Amino acid sequence: MIPPPAQPEVIPPTILKSLRTSGETTIVPPDPVKTQILRDAKAKVSGSFQICLAATGAIANVSTIGSTGYPGYDAVLHAGMRGWRYQPYRVNGVGTPACSVVTFVYALC
């Protein structure tokens, strides 16, 4: 019988950030979404996402915890996060699956 896969470790966002080796972290909404934010008279929007890493450091999953309220922006954020690269999260020197939360805030200046 094959044992079930290990449950990912939940790690603080600061640790996740320290493991990132590449990828653009400033992800802005596409122009049509910016226009809609202006029309909605919002000074800022935010969204929170769970990002999970495989034992190798590859992104295993990205899911929405709290939407920005703009599906087009959420989609751009998902795509951007999937382009990030990480080194493995290690426990006792062994790569271990891990999950954390990433929050984006887009503010109109």
In the prediction, which pLDDT does 7 show?
A: 85
Q: Which tens digits make up the pLDDT trace of 8-28? A: 999 999 999 999 999 999 999
pLDDT of residue 109 exceeding 90, the answer is: no
In the prediction, which pLDDT does 108 show?
A: 81
Give the span between the Cα atoms of 65 and 93, in whole angstroms.
30
Give the span between the Cα atoms of 58 and 35, in whole angstroms.
34
What is the pTM (predicted TM-score) of this model? 0.90
Q: Which tens digits make up the pLDDT trace of 71-80? A: 999 999 999 9
In the prediction, which pLDDT does 5 show?
A: 67
pLDDT of residue 68 exceeding 70, the answer is: yes
The CA angle 26-30-36, to the nearest 5 degrees, is 120
Q: What is the largest CA-CA distance in the chain?
A: 57
**Amino acid type, 24:** E
- Quickly state the pLDDT bin for 1 (edges 50, 70, 90): confident
In the prediction, which pLDDT does 3 show?
A: 64
CB atoms within 10 A of CB 82: 12
- For the chain, what are the domain ranges? 9-107
Question: Taking a C-beta distance cutoff of 8 angstroms, is the pair 49, 65 a contact?
Answer: yes
Residue range 9-107, CATH number: 3.30.2420.10
**Amino acid type, 34:** K
pLDDT of residue 6 exceeding 80, the answer is: no
